[in-house]
Amino acid sequence: MSTLLITHPACLDHLTPLGHPERPDRLRAIDRALEAEKFQTLARVQAPAADFEVIALCHPMDYVTEIRDAAPREGMVRLDADTSMSPGSFEAALRAVGGAVHAVDEVFTKKAANAFVATRPPGHHAETARPMGFCLFDNAAIAARYAQTRHGIARAAVVDFDVHHGNGSQEIFWADRTVMYCSTHQMPLFPGTGAVIETGDFNTIVNAPLRPGDGGEAFRAAFDSRVLPRLREFAPELIVISAGFDAHMRDPLANLNLVEADFAWATQKIMEVADRFAEGRVVSLLEGGYDLEALANSTAAHVTALMRG
């Protein structure tokens, strides 16, 4: 079994305003990086479009149709200060969710060892019925819930190392004892959530905020002291990674100083937990990362780790 790479050209058709950091060039940079010879053994498939019923595992059906109906026939429409839609945005969002749940199917049926889903728009800021922070649907939350409903597992975990806190994933699973959400992120920073004291109704929310200027040492210490012990205690049967690479020192939207090796290390540590409790099942979904060079190199390091390279 090899690592599976899932993407779709429709994700390039989600257009954002000029100068917006979450832009189609992000996927082009990743595509170029993963053309290198060492990635030739990746299995590659295109993301299917998700059924509305799958999205409705985490979002009300009327919200799904609201987002569909918000897409303009031409031009662009803003849903909030940061989040906009173009004519291609809704299909891109369907492919992002569809890629996530297809990855879950492939790892559970042992057709893939694990998977990386390179799609956009990202997802972890989307709350139950609110788009925000460039996100329309919470791809990672849907993947975790889908694994429970479709493949019958009792416990899933989402581990989020994006530099921004995944307020959407936290909100969706706040009162859920069957899904653990763990996040390292910079504070203070958008969206303003993610304090250590935010632990959810059943102590299944694990926040490990970092200070502006922190680098790999503080990041690894947060993983070692807070995230990994709680994950092992929880014993998830699938780990979904919200893989944002905007904690990189080059990223323009934040002030952490991670480098490629830090993302590779975190990926390996997550895989060790998955090997122990989840038969190695890891599904990684692209979230943020806005410096194209840092994004490409960090994704390459992350995927190399998934390939056990």
Catalytic site residue 20? Answer: no
- Give 243-283 as a 3 state SS string: ECCCCECCCCCCCCEECHHHHHHHHHHHHHHHHHHCCCCEE
Which residue among the candidates 124, 125, 185, 248 is catalytic per the annotation? Answer: 125
Partner residues linked to 4 by β-bridges = 43, 115
Q: Retrieve residue 231's tokens.
A: 């994950």
Q: Which of 207, 210, 179 is nearest to 193 (CA)?
A: 207
| Phi and psi angles of residue 195, each rounded to the nearest 5 degrees, phi first | -70, 155
Query: Quick one: DSSP state of residue 60?
Result: -
AA identity, residue 194: G
| 176 conformational bin, left if phi > 0, alpha if psi -120 to 50, beta if neither | beta
Active centre residues (catalytic): 125
